[in-house]
Amino acid sequence: MEPQPDGAMNRFTALTRVFRAWIQGPAGLALVFGGLAVVAGVLLVGMVWMTSRPSDEPVEVVEGIFFEIATGSVTGTYYPLGNVVASVIANPAGSVRCADEARCGPPGLTPAVQAAEGSVSNIEAVHDGLSASAFAQADVVSLAYNGDPPFETPYTDLRAISGLYGESLHLIVMRGSDIQSIGDLRGRRISVDRRGSGTFGVATRVLTALGLSAANTELVFERSERSAEMLLAGEIDGFFYVAGPPVRVVQDLTNLNLVKLVPIDGPEINALVAREPYLTAALIPEGVYLDIPEVRTIGVTAIWIVRDDAPFELVYRITRALWNPVNRAMLEAGPEQARILSPRDAIEGVPIPFHPGAEQYYLEVGLLTSE
């Protein structure tokens, strides 16, 4: 049997992975393909596999390349950004847009956007070969690469496709709350998101820097949507959330004038940022959320990762398509996080080596040098 083309997956495996993702449902891997044309491309691969018969006439069939992008909650920022990125890089059979090959990924590329638990689980999925790629926070990626907790061993097989955008730590409380600063959380009921999420990692480091822990603060481990419900019901006093503003779950609350954002600043926070190379001081500008003034906080870069054994040509073409200027209009039509993507940020705040395919592109356009 002849080997598969580099990066291609046989039809049976592709269909099996589609079915596996479908039966897991939105709580596991919710697949959203990059546009209806991409869905049609997947179905076409299945139809060819199931109905093909011997023929005297040779028929050229483009093998499907099934490429997952693990993101985050459907109400967060990773998930909608993933859908836009999938649309940009997709190259289904017969695509007119992809007649210019530099606009798209390799022929047959079928991206599948997965709703997922967050940075830690996304990194583990890539490391374990359960997802081809993922979005994750740079600080958590650094922990994984170096084998620092919560990771038990170094994940030195991780590589970067691109830096994406800056994310900000939100602390949301009811508008009438007497919580005015981060130090007021002592003795309160605070949700730090699910264990294994990027929010959990940053929020617990912030609390630790202030001398707060489960011993003097009641910690709750719920995702942002459930935390918002609990806040409105009076079951918690506040919740943390790391995302690129504006984030929908916060917008929904601020639009109803129900909540406020608490600043995350002070000497302890400044010392934390100085110690943590991938944390930065950040601002949530006035006007991002309705009637919310400028808020000081901390931030971290979101990056797109793959394994080191991802095919060179696949990653090169994906990177080239993502930053191709002719695709800018597609990014501009997406959510805020897609609109602010910039090639200049692609190489900033990235704590691990670039994949050789991505590195080749950045060398060609002068964002990296060979020195």
Is 11-165+302-364 a domain of CATH 1.10.10.10? Answer: no
Query: What predicted TM-score, i.e. pTM, was given to this entire model?
Result: 0.76
Alpha helices in 104-210 (DSSP H): 119-127, 138-146, 198-209
| Helical segments of the chain, H only | 11-24, 36-51, 78-89, 119-127, 138-146, 198-209, 224-232, 248-254, 267-275, 312-322, 328-332, 336-339, 356-364
DSSP line for 22-33: HHH-TTS--EEE
**pLDDT of 196:** 75
Where in the chain is CATH 3.40.190.10?
11-165+302-364, 167-300
Predicted confidence at residue 371, as pLDDT, reads 67
Please give the pLDDT value at position 28.
Answer: 41
DSSP β-bridge partners for residue 159: 306
Report the alpha-carbon distance of residue 242 to residue 224 in Å, rounded: 10
Does the domain at 167-300 match CATH 2.60.120.10? Answer given as: no
pLDDT of residue 277: 81
Mean pLDDT by 10 residues, the chain (371 residues): 39 42 40 39 36 39 80 89 97 91 94 91 96 95 93 97 94 97 96 88 94 93 94 98 91 96 96 90 94 96 96 97 96 91 90 97 93 67
